[in-house]
C-alpha cells in the first residue's frame, strides 16, 4: 500500500463529492480487516507499527470521506483550495442578513421558551443546509468550479454552527 495515495484511492473510489456510502463503508471494513493491528499481534515490532500507522491512516481517511463537509473540504484541498482558511471573500450580504434574522429569532424563541419556533428554525436551517450541500455537489462534481464550491461550503459551515446553537437552545429552554 502507498501512504501517499489520496483518501479516495485508499478505498478504491473515484474522487467525487457524491460518494456511495455503502461502498465507502464496505471498502473501509475490507481495508480494516486487512490491516487491523490485531492481525499483526504476533508479527515483528516494525510490522506492528506499520499496521497501527495504516489503521490510523484508514480511520482518518474514512472520517474525512464519511462527513459531507469534511469530504468537500478534502476534495477542495486536492485542488489546492483551503475552503476554511481566513482571508476568503466575505459571505454574501443577503446571506448574512438572513443569518442575523435567524439569530434574533433564536434568541426570541429561547426567551419565550417557544419549542415550535425552535422547530421551525431548525427545519428551515436544515433545509437550507441541504440545499447548499446540493449546490456544493453540483459545483464540485459537475461544474468543477472549486472556488465557488468553497464559497458555498463556507455558508454551509455557518449553518452547521447555527444548528448546533439551535440544539443548545433546546437544552436551555427545557
Segment 101-137, tens digit of pLDDT: 999 999 999 999 999 999 999 999 999 999 999 999 9
pLDDT > 80? residue 30: yes
Q: What is the pLDDT of residue 71?
A: 98
Residue range(s) in the chain whose domain bears CATH number 1.20.1280.20? 93-173
What average pLDDT does range 47-63 have in this prediction? 90
Q: What is the pLDDT of residue 123?
A: 98
Quick one: which of 52, 31, 24, 28 has its CA closest to 40? 52
CATH class of 7-66: mainly alpha
Q: What is the pLDDT of residue 35?
A: 79
Quick one: which of 58, 60, 64, 65 has its CA closest to 33? 58
Q: How many residues does the chain have?
A: 174
1 confidence band (pLDDT: 50, 70, 90): low
Quick one: which of 85, 77, 60, 58 has its CA closest to 15? 77
The pTM score is 0.90
Residue range(s) in the chain whose domain bears CATH number 1.10.287.110? 7-66
Which range among 34-48, 62-76, 160-174 shows the weakest confidence by mean pLDDT? 34-48
Q: What is the pLDDT of residue 45?
A: 83
CA dist., res. 154 & res. 163, Å (int): 14
18 confidence band (pLDDT: 50, 70, 90): very high
DSSP E strand boundaries for 58-129: none
CATH class of 93-173: mainly alpha
Q: What is the pLDDT of residue 3?
A: 66
pLDDT > 90? residue 12: yes
pLDDT > 80? residue 42: no
- For the chain, the average pLDDT equals 94
What average pLDDT does range 82-106 have in this prediction? 95
Amino acid at each position: 500500500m502507498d501512504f501517499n495515495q489520496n483518501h479516495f484511492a485508499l478505498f478504491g473510489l473515484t474522487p467525487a463529492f457524491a460518494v456511495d456510502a455503502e461502498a465507502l463503508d464496505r471498502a473501509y471494513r475490507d481495508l480494516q480487516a486487512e490491516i487491523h493491528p490485531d492481525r499483526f499481534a504476533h508479527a515483528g515490532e516494525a510490522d506492528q507499527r506499520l499496521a497501527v500507522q495504516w489503521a490510523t491512516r484508514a480511520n482518518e481517511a474514512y472520517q474525512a470521506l464519511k462527513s459531507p463537509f469534511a469530504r468537500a473540504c478534502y476534495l477542495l484541498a486536492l485542488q489546492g483550495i483551503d475552503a476554511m482558511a481566513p482571508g476568503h471573500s466575505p459571505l454574501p450580504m443577503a446571506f448574512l442578513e438572513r443569518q442575523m434574522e435567524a439569530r434574533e429569532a433564536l434568541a426570541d424563541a429561547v426567551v419565550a421558551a417557544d419549542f415550535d419556533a425552535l422547530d421551525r428554525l431548525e427545519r428551515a436551517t436544515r433545509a437550507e443546509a441541504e440545499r447548499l450541500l446540493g449546490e456544493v455537489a453540483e459545483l464540485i462534481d459537475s461544474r468543477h468550479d472549486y472556488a465557488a464550491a468553497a464559497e458555498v461550503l463556507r455558508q454551509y459551515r455557518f449553518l452547521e454552527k447555527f444548528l448546533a446553537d439551535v440544539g443548545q437552545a433546546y437544552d436551555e429552554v427545557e
